Amino acid sequence: MFLNGHQQLSTVDEPLYHEPLVHPVMLLHQDPRKILVLGGGDGAAVRELLKYDSADEIVLVDLDVSVTDLAKSHPVLLNINQGSLLKENVTVINEDGFTYLEKLQDYFDVIIADFPDPRTVDLGRLYSREFYWLCHQALKADGFMVTQAGSPYYAEKAYKCIQATMEAAGFTTLPLHNQVLTLGEWGWIIGSKQSRNYLKGELQQKEIQVPTAWLNKDALTLITSFGKAVFNNTIDEIKVNRLHDPVLYRNYNKGKWDLY
């Protein structure tokens, strides 16, 4: 599936993307009952969340009603997401994620941000310090969030910019990565609202109790471990991405996408 000419999902390998997006952050939380998904209109992330008995309430906020309607009705997408957006404990809201958080008067255990890559100023606002601060405010005291963060290799500076921006909003972070066959090396970043110095060690000790297509205990070790920089170029100062100083989209577009 493509949106505006950019791949969003492939039946060949989508578990290699959605399982690292969902399960690590769910494993780190002790009792994730109320989950907010921002983006993710194809329903695959919600499919993974529904594997947890603790997930009493799932709210999905996606701007594009055509995508969520397709996810509720198209045979191929229904086969992929297993009818996740039609479940009783799932609420679908078609609204801009930033606007939704600005008006929110509620709290969640886990927030999952599954937005398109920040290739424009407008998309970059969903990766800004102001946005992550709204996420921080919307989480309970022991809450976690995770965002897809593009490629740590093709767009290394953009990836590190997202991590620095989350930290500027008050999160303790844990970067993740995985080889997604049709996307290349891809990345996510977990944020903890609490100051936790051993997130990597905590996650590597977890046992996955729900069925998965790919992710297992060994993979939890692999996805949290990074080698040396692939490219020898020196990255200059990493600036925080702010609404009034949107640096992220430039970092992203200057990435080594020609190699992909």
Tokens 């891809």 locate to 186
How many CA atoms lie within 13 Å of 148's alpha carbon, on the beta-carbon side?
Answer: 27
State the catalytic residue, choosing from 13, 114, 218, 245. 114
Q: How far apart are CA 256 and CA 258, in angstroms?
A: 5
Residue 171 φ then ψ, to 5°: -90, 145
Give Cβ neighbours of residue 172 (< 8 Å, ≥ 6 apart). 191, 192, 194, 195, 196, 197, 199
Tell me the pairing of strands 139-148 and 34-39.
unpaired
Helices (H), the chain: 14-28, 44-49, 65-73, 75-81, 97-103, 121-124, 129-138, 156-168, 199-204, 217-222, 248-253
Q: List the structure tokens of 86.
A: 């039609």
Q: List the structure tokens of 80.
A: 């992929």
Q: CA triplet 65, 49, 8: central angle to 5 degrees? A: 45
Q: CA triplet 97, 100, 59: central angle to 5 degrees? A: 80
Distances (CA, A) of 259 to 48, 113, 183, 255: 31, 26, 12, 9
| 122 classed as catalytic | no
Residues taking part in catalysis: 114
